[in-house]
Structure 1
Amino acid sequence: MQSSPPPKLSMVQVLVCSALIVTLSMGIRHGFGLWLQPITMDRGWNRETFAFAMAVQNLMWGVAGPFAGMLADRFGAFRVLIVGTLLYAGGLVLMALATSGLAFTGSAGVLIGMAQAGTTYAIIYGVIGRNVAPEKRSWAMGVAAAAGSFGQFLMVPVENWLIGGFGWQNALFILGCLALAIIPLSWGLKEPKVAAAAGGVQQSIGQALREAFTYPSFQLLTAGYFVCGFQVVFIGVHMPSYLKDQGLAPEVATYALALIGLFNVFGTYIAGVLGQRLQKRHILASIYFLRSVAIVIFLFVPLSPASVYVFSSVIGLLWLSTVPPTNAVVAQIFGVRYLSMLGGFVFLSHQIGSFLGVWLGGKLYDSTGSYDVVWWLAVALGVFAALVNLPVRESAISRPAQAAA
């Protein structure tokens, strides 16, 4: 009887360090929408300038993700996390010092985007996949995603307080110092070399990529994840300004983002738990469809602080709850040997959607004076994502030739 190799790191150690790393890396970035108005007003830029930099950030995060994943799968996550952290801190400092749109795009867009590729889910989930037993993997991924959500809940009001108390530039300097705390936490995810190479049937990187990209279920997951990125980044970056444009007090936007983070803690954890019991494709289809329903109701009811808080709570339950089941399906189909790399490619699609969501939000606002077109585009895409996830097959892929070899 063949048994899977034992975990190389303690599950508790992996979960604690992963949760704290994701809390910082995701928490810092979730509040970037709070800088839109102070930076554009101080620098004299239009919203598209800021939105384009955030769009490039999301695109670079996606483009760098597969390469960061390849390095993490081959050499372990520890080294990738160190480099990513240094890029994160440097990008935040340069973001504060940038005085032109090009420099702002280079720092807030390129550097921080690359940093996020090396400090967030694709890297963390590779470690979890290699060190947590399969029967607990979806739950463990839900815990890590919930930690990122708690980071949003925790960091958004902190960042708002930093901007108000120290100014937007000094607030970025402080966050740059805070990001460096990821380095000592990374030691807890330093795997023995044998752990980084473990994972069943041996494949080359090229074989793994050909297998994944020709497999229909991988293609469908990737298409659905595009929609996830479009929706959440558009809402996260542009909703604060949307609410202010509608005459609501600035603190409403802060509370709204914090509520999204708070309820996302529950949503991602529940998604991880349900992924151990239900078909993950059904979970994903339900999440995308319910997002569209929530947006439609939000657009039709009279806008008020109460309606904003209810919408934020509901959308928070659905916010990053796609992350655990999506990555768990990838691990379930292809195994964990190249989980960081394959998760990075799926996430690239997510970030292409993020690029379009945040950039179109600024572009169409500047050209029409309204976010309405992008809201309704998010609704249509949610229905599309729900439909494409339904045919996904979750069973492990058959490799008869490799198994015989």
Structure 2
Amino acid sequence: MTGLTTFRRDPVATAFAGAFALLPSSAAVIFYSQGFFLGPVTEEFGWSRSQFMGTVTMALIALAVLYPLVGRLGDRFGARRVLVPGILLFGFGMMSLSLVGDNLPLYAVLTILIGMAGVVQSPLLYSMVVAHRAPLRSRGKLIAICTTGVPLGNMAIPPLVVWLIAEFGWRGARVGLGLAILFCALPVALMFMGDARERIKSVSEKTRSAALSVISRRPGVLLLSAIFLSGLALNGFLVSLVPMVTDRGLLPSDAARILVVAAVAGVFGRIGAGWLLDRVQKPQIGVLWYIAGTIGIGLSFYPGGTLVLTIGSICLGLALGAETELGAYYTSRFYDRKHFGEVLGLLSCCYTIGGALGGQMFSVFFDQFGDYVLASIVAAVLVAVSAVLLLALPPYPTLSDDQAH
């Protein structure tokens, strides 16, 4: 029993378990898979595409707003007590969509509630536990391993949904997604996500700033601003990448391959960010990924074919992959662990809202000017501004010996 308990609390095992749990993340289930349900559902009920996607947008906004609250609940009650009921609601809620008929208001309400429950299936609480357990020398790397489950799930969930719809219809696919959530996340939450709260209470961290003062302190203002602006620019560009590719006369299959390349680069972006953050003890190291994002957007102006766009998508994927990792690591270094979830929740909220507004920004620019050139220029400038904000971060607070282990 002692050996099993030690394994369940081991930071490396916790990181890999968290990655497995995040394969059916809220991003993969709510955002990346919705395009495959759009056609079958709207054809069966006669809804417009804007009506269907409107429910998804509302669900994402509800999810974003709840990030700080869920983070605070995790700080107060421990990650497991928040994860388990949230996972159950998310999984069974997804299955319940298979029972909805031609009733758009009911479908919208259920989708919003599912989005609210889905906030637990984000890196927020999983990375919180990893950060609390991991020693300083490997904290960045282990957080990166944990959050890598998100891009891996973004690659795996869409093909799974396509297969489920082909074999069992869209209703069966909803049930399949719900089962995937319960199968991957629930055992991990029960086995690996306990006891972090007790460990936090035993650690004295008087040198850190409190979460409630995050807006008024220099690191908080800089991080919130950088995360919001980069989320708006990078995610807005990513959402618009497919029409950019097809507008150049390339095939949709070319666009799909470019997106896959970006997702794969995102995995390496996270791992690379973790590796460097552990070795370079200066917060300015995060600028490297924003530079990569600026280059990725800039390459979209070059009148080349798939090769140039692929290289640009690699740079974009590296930057997007590091975003979550940077937020979690910076939170663990600048703020008291007792408020880790709340601070990271604020950052996640800003990032998600920024991403939602970014897609809208690119659409507005296209409607006004007939292309994405000006929107891309604005996005590149915003990412560059984010890099400048990270350059202005102060040094990490000095840690005592018990804080570093």
Report the Cα distance in structure 1 between the residues aligned to 2:356 and 2:144, rounded to whole angstroms. 25
Whether the 8 Å CA contact 1:22–1:120 is kept in 2: the answer is: yes
Deviations 1:235-274 (A, max 9, x none): 4544345545655444334333322222211110010000
Report the Cα distance in structure 1 between the residues aligned to 2:38 and 2:369, rounded to whole angstroms. 18
Match in the other structure for 2:382: 381
Alpha-carbon distance change, 179 to 361 in structure 1, aligned in 2, over 3 angstroms: farther
Alpha-carbon distance change, 10 to 299 in structure 1, aligned in 2, over 3 angstroms: same
Q: Which runs of 5+ in 2 are unaligned?
A: 1-5, 400-405
- The normalised TM-score by structure 2 is 0.82
Match in the other structure for 2:403: none
| Partner SS state of residue 320, structure 1 | helix
Whether the 8 Å CA contact 1:73–1:197 is kept in 2: the answer is: no
Residue 391 of structure 1 and its aligned partner are, at CA, apart by 0.5
Alpha-carbon distance change, 262 to 376 in structure 1, aligned in 2, over 3 angstroms: same
Decide which moves more: 312-321 or 193-202: 193-202
Alpha-carbon distance change, 287 to 217 in structure 1, aligned in 2, over 3 angstroms: same
Structure 1 residue 18 and structure 2 residue 18: aligned?
yes
Alignment of 1:390-401 (within 5 A): 390-396=391-397
Report the Cα distance in structure 2 between the residues aligned to 1:225 and 1:53, rounded to whole angstroms. 25
Decide which moves more: 28-37 or 73-82: 28-37
Residue 215 of structure 1 and its aligned partner are, at CA, apart by 0.9
Find 1:274's aligned residue among 273, 276, 280. 276
Match in the other structure for 2:204: 200
Read off the aligned partner of 2:348 and give its amino acid letter: F
Read off the aligned partner of 1:195 and give its amino acid letter: R
Structure 1 residue 9 and structure 2 residue 14: aligned?
no
Deviations 1:198-234 (A, max 9, x none): 432479xxx8233322211111001111123223433
Alpha-carbon distance change, 158 to 315 in structure 1, aligned in 2, over 3 angstroms: farther
Find 1:188's aligned residue among 184, 191, 199. 191
Alpha-carbon distance change, 86 to 233 in structure 1, aligned in 2, over 3 angstroms: farther
Deviations 1:110-151 (A, max 9, x none): 334323321221111210122111222111111112232222
Match in the other structure for 1:403: none
Alpha-carbon distance change, 280 to 244 in structure 1, aligned in 2, over 3 angstroms: farther
Whether the 8 Å CA contact 1:36–1:47 is kept in 2: the answer is: no
Report the Cα distance in structure 1 between the residues aligned to 2:254 and 2:41, rounded to whole angstroms. 20
Structure 1 residue 210 and structure 2 residue 212: aligned?
yes
| Partner SS state of residue 392, structure 1 | coil
Residue 368 of structure 1 and its aligned partner are, at CA, apart by 6.3
Whether the 8 Å CA contact 1:256–1:312 is kept in 2: the answer is: yes
Alignment of 1:3-402 (within 5 A): 9-25=9-25, 26-29=27-30, 31-32=32-33, 34-35=35-36, 38=39, 42=43, 48-49=50-51, 52-93=54-95, 97=100, 103=106, 105-108=108-111, 110-163=112-165, 166-181=168-183, 182-192=185-195, 194-195=198-199, 197-201=201-205, 208-244=210-246, 247-279=249-281, 281-304=283-306, 306-362=307-363, 370-396=371-397
Residue 69 of structure 1 and its aligned partner are, at CA, apart by 1.0
Alpha-carbon distance change, 101 to 303 in structure 1, aligned in 2, over 3 angstroms: farther
Deviations 1:18-51 (A, max 9, x none): 1111222154346236338636863666665455
- The normalised TM-score by structure 1 is 0.82
Alpha-carbon distance change, 165 to 238 in structure 1, aligned in 2, over 3 angstroms: farther
Read off the aligned partner of 1:265 and give its amino acid letter: V
Read off the aligned partner of 1:71 and give its amino acid letter: L
Equivalent residues, number = 390
Residue 77 of structure 1 and its aligned partner are, at CA, apart by 0.9
Alpha-carbon distance change, 169 to 261 in structure 1, aligned in 2, over 3 angstroms: farther
